[in-house]
């Protein structure tokens, strides 16, 4: 829970992409291969389908998973990044099969209507996200995170600690764009649903830091 491997949403438990990757690393997963299923993809409609292959330790067993994403089954906060969402979903399904994880992953959920829209309409774009040389993706992702922090009056330092734990990295800047996008969506949902509970969760990261010190 502290690392963000599992999340409880609306009384149901879900595994996260970061948790699945950590599980694969602990079990010495030998390979993860992902490729687009081009005949099922439609770039003009931002619809993408990926196929992932996971080989367990020693490469003896191979497990396959598919993931799809388009504007109808993704949050508005990741609009334009459906390609990477589909890739993540495919990897998650393959990893869940490989290691017998019956819980659905958070990234596989389809919640286009439950996630609040960004306060700044200019932050949304139908164009695919482009890299700016940072692992955290384009500036608009950072802008969304800052907007959420200001809107709900959150502690930026604690949000960064929460984000790093959620993404399974030492610092937020080391996380992949996919994980940052997923974290922003999750933070927005938690803040809109129960800000007090989110504040308590953030404060727990401050307490953990004090214990380490």
Q: Residue 30 belongs to a domain with what CATH number? A: 3.30.160.20
Q: How far apart are the first and last CA of the chain?
A: 21
Residues 105 and 134 both lie in one domain: no
What's the pLDDT at 4? 76
Burial class (CB in 10 A: 0-12, 13-18, 19+), 73: middle
Residues 34 and 80 both lie in one domain: yes
What's the pLDDT at 116? 37
Residues 20 and 93 both lie in one domain: yes
**Parallel, antiparallel or unpaired: strands 48-55 and 6-9:** unpaired
CA dist., res. 31 & res. 54, Å (int): 6
- For residue 146, how many other CB atoms are within 10 A of its CB? 12
Residues 138 and 98 both lie in one domain: no
Structure tokens at 209: 């830091």
Residues 141 and 47 both lie in one domain: no
Q: Which of 109, 77, 83, 97 is nearest to 24 (CA)?
A: 97
Q: 75, 118 in Cβ contact below 8 A?
A: no
Residues 148 and 211 both lie in one domain: yes
Regions in the chain scoring below 50 on pLDDT: 112-139, 210-213
What are residue 13's DSSP bridge partners?
8
pTM of the model: 0.54
Structure tokens at 80: 């334009």
The predicted-structure confidence for 29-40, as pLDDT tens digits, reads as follows: 999 999 999 999
CA dist., res. 32 & res. 157, Å (int): 33
């Amino acid at each position: 829970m502290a690392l963000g491997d599992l999340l409880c949403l609306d009384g149901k438990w879900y595994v996260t992409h970061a948790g699945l990757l950590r599980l694969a690393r602990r079990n010495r997963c030998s390979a993860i291969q992902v490729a687009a299923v081009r005949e099922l993809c439609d770039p003009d409609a931002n619809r993408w389908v990926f196929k992932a292959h996971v080989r367990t330790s020693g490469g003896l067993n191979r497990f396959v998973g598919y993931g799809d994403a388009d504007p109808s089954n993704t949050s508005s906060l990741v609009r334009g990044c459906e390609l990477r969402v589909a890739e993540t979903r495919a990897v998650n399904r393959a990893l869940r099969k490989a290691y017998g994880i019956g819980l659905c992953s958070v990234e596989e959920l389809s919640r286009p209507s439950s996630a609040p829209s960004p306060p700044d309409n200019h932050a949304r774009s139908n164009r695919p996200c482009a890299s700016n040389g940072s692992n955290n993706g384009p500036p608009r992702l950072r802008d969304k995170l800052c907007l959420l922090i200001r809107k709900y009056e959150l502690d930026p330092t604690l949000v960064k600690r929460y984000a790093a734990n959620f993404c399974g990295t030492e610092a937020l800047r080391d996380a992949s764009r996919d994980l940052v996008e997923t974290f922003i969506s999750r933070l927005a949902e938690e803040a809109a649903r129960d800000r007090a509970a989110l504040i308590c969760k953030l404060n727990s990261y401050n307490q953990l830091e004090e214990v380490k010190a």
